[in-house]
């Protein structure tokens, strides 16, 4: 099914969507499993969908693999296509979207493409120390659960020179995360 067709049927479905966000290891996946049990939502982890796409041998597989290893964000259109497909295939109309959007570009693209406005955002706040400890003992064989990748995934490292920190800060404030020169 093409994206336009998928988007039409999704708009007809008028689904309830909750974005579940928080740092790596904050417990998004764990709490989503509980919410599914208690409230009948379908849990869609953007990271799980990307890992499945990578493993399926798709043309985007190598790109996805490299982005995940580096803790970088896969282009929105790739992730949105996977989310649309999973929503349509589920047969449900209530979704927890876990780990997406990862940035403002992701959020804007999702709303523009799907026309879905999320009901609310559930944000799990957790210290980096606790998140790092949890990730290092997650034991799911993930190649990004190592100290090097974990540190890359944590927000802005402010223990660097002023100019370098501002390079990261600019990325957060500029639309589409482009460099604002
Ligand atoms: N509240 C908690 N206290 C202790 N460990 C937790 C808690 N929530 C989740 N975990 C554990 O931390 C690890 C990361 O949880 P996960 O749900 O995969 O986080 P996320 O999806 O946000 O990265 C898992 O091994 C999980 O069992
Ligand atoms: O919308 C998304 C979600 C995940 N990822 C990639 O997948 C990795 C793992 O994400 P996941 O949500 O599975 O990690 P968790 O927060 O559960 O540790 C991220 O670091 C990104 O590289 C991405 O590019 N876009
Ligand atoms: Mg997760």
Please indicate whether residue 153, judged by its CB atom, sits closer than 6 Å to ligand 2.
Answer: yes
Residue 172 confidence class, pLDDT cut points 50, 70, 90: low
- Cα separation, 137 vs 122, in Å, equals 24
pLDDT for 84: 97
Is the C-beta atom of 47 inside 6 A of ligand 2? yes
Q: pLDDT digits over 95-150, tens only? A: 999 999 998 889 999 999 999 999 988 888 888 899 999 999 999 999 999 999 99
User: Does any ligand 1 atom lie closer than 6 A to the CB of residue 25?
Assistant: yes
Q: Which of 30, 96, 102 to mutate to test the pocket of ligand 2 (most atoms within 8 A of CB)?
A: 102
- Would you say 89 and 11 are in contact if contact means Cβ atoms under 8 Å apart? no
Compute the distance between CA of residue 86 and CA of residue 80 in angstroms, rounded to an integer.
Answer: 10
CA of 148 to the centre of ligand 2 (A): 15
ipTM: 0.98
CA 115 – ligand 3 centroid, Å? 25
User: Could you tell me which residue, 180 or 34, shows the higher pLDDT?
Assistant: 34
Q: What is the pLDDT of residues 3-47, one digit of tens each?
A: 777 767 888 899 999 999 989 999 999 999 999 999 899 999 999
CA distance 5 to 98: 24
Q: At what angle do helices 46-55 and 76-90 cross, to 10 degrees?
A: 100
């Amino acid at each position: 099914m093409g994206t336009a067709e998928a988007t039409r049927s999704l708009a007809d479905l008028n689904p309830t969507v909750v974005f579940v966000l928080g740092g790596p290891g904050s417990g998004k996946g764990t709490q989503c499993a509980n919410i599914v049990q208690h409230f009948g939502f379908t849990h869609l982890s953007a990271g799980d969908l990307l890992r499945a796409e990578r493993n399926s041998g798709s043309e985007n597989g190598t790109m996805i693999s490299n982005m995940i290893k580096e803790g970088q964000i896969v282009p929105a259109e790739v992730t949105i296509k996977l989310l649309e497909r999973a929503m349509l295939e589920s047969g449900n109309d209530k979704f927890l979207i876990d780990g997406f959007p990862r940035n403002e570009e992701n959020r804007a693209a999702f709303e523009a493409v799907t026309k879905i406005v999320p009901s609310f955002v559930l944000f799990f706040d957790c210290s980096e120390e606790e998140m790092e400890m949890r990730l290092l003992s997650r034991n799911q064989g993930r190649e990004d659960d190592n100290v090097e990748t974990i540190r890359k995934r944590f927000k802005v490292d402010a223990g660097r020179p002023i100019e370098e920190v501002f390079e990261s800060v600019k990325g957060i404030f500029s639309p589409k995360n482009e460099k604002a020169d």
